[in-house]
Amino acid sequence: MAVYTHLGADQFAALITEYDVGELVSVKGIAEGVSNSNWLVETTGSDGALDSAGNPQTRFILTMYERRIDLDDLPFFLGLLDHLSAKDGPVPRTIHDRTGNASRTLDGKAIALIEFLPGVSIENPTEAQAKAVGAALAGIHLASADFADTRKNDLRPVDWQKLFDQCGDHLAEIDPALPGIISQHMPRLLSEWPEDLPHSTIHADLFPDNVLMLGNEVTGLIDFYFACTDITAYDLAVTHAAWCFGDLGTVFRPEIGAAMMAGYESVRPLSDAELSALPLLAQGAAMRFAATRAFDWINTPDDALVKRKDPMDFMKRLEFYAEHGHTAFRRRAI
């Protein structure tokens, strides 16, 4: 949770005049995002920015990019939102300023104003909700097929290995079993990682806190700041690993996994090659999050603003996928 930069009312009010959104009514720093500062901004609205129902948009998320994000990537991230929202994908639209820019500079940092979307983040999805999430993910895969811009994924297997290497001997301090699990699985992931599967723009981080829902409907996919061009089915593997485990993330929920798969395939059927690669891709997804969590664990002070996340949760998921992946990703009637 974070608002890293203090901005005064004068700065907000002046910023808002650069957009055709009416006058500033309210601004609240919100406790979301670890690499950015975010504010929920309310304005009087104008005909310059209409919501999907054609009414003046009055609520926005103002994001200030503080760190981690390479500003050269900002046009990719914001362009992707524009591309997907133009196809009525459930993503926030960017609000362009009066001169047409999707991002500006404030207080020396890049900022963007994007649409506020309703919905809440679901932690323990029902089957209907998991199905909707799978379908929404497939929807953005289809919708991004003609998105021309590309971005390299900087968290591929070789990058996980580099992160573990930088952790060095500290890995065993997190958990004595951690180095062994890495050396058992990492070589295979490096050598067997598939390169011949379909690629597309992927979200690459579609955890529950990046999905807004109302009931069984997905109202928003947000936080595209890991989006990149990579193996399409890997995105499903990431989402599967992020959503389908209960009891604090350690016990697979087969009915949730099956519902997510069914939802995905209702929009974008998987090829046989993709389907049979999913157990390995899911092990990779688990390893990827274990790698960044281990790195952050070692490099985050005990009492920092950002709560540390235990990488071992994902190692347990990796071991599940290594042992039961072929069963978990078998197509089932739903």
d(CA 29, CA 62): 9
CB of 168 or CB of 215, closer to a copy of itself: 215
Distance separating alpha carbons of residues 312 and 292, to the nearest angstrom: 12
What SS3 class is residue 155? coil
CA–CA separation, 222 and 271 (whole Å): 27
The distance of closest approach from Cβ of residue 40 to a copy of itself in the complex, given in angstroms and rounded to an integer, is 6
Using rule CB under 8 A, residue 32 touches a copy of itself:
yes
In the region spanning residues 110 to 169, those forming contacts with a copy of itself, defined by CB under 8 A, are 116, 118-124
What the block records as the tokens of 57 is 């948009």
**Closest distance of CB 42 from a copy of itself, Å:** 7
User: Residue 248 or residue 333: which is nearer to a copy of itself going by CB?
Assistant: 248
- The three-point CA angle 158-160-163 to 5° equals 115
Q: Exposure of 92 by Cβ count < 10 A (0-12 exposed, 13-18 middle, 19+ buried)? A: buried
State the binding string over 293-312 for a copy of itself (x if CB under 8 A, else -). Answer: --------x-xxx-------
Q: Does 5 bind a copy of itself (CB under 8 A)?
A: no
Looking at the Cβ atoms of 222 and 278, the one nearer to a copy of itself is 222
Q: What is the Cα gyration radius of the chain?
A: 20
| CB closer to a copy of itself out of 128 and 305 | 305
Instruction: Give the nearer residue to a copy of itself in terms of CB position, either 5 or 292.
Output: 5
How far apart are the C-alpha atoms of 283 and 286, rounded to whole Å? 5
| Site stretch for a copy of itself (CB under 8 A), options 27-35, 248-256, 291-299, 323-331 | 27-35
CB atoms inside a 10 Å sphere around CB 190? 14
End-to-end CA distance of the chain: 37
Site map for a copy of itself, 194-223, x if CB under 8 A? ------------------xxx---------
> Site residues (CB under 8 A) for a copy of itself?
1-3, 8-10, 12-13, 24-32, 40, 42, 116, 118-124, 212-214, 301, 303-305
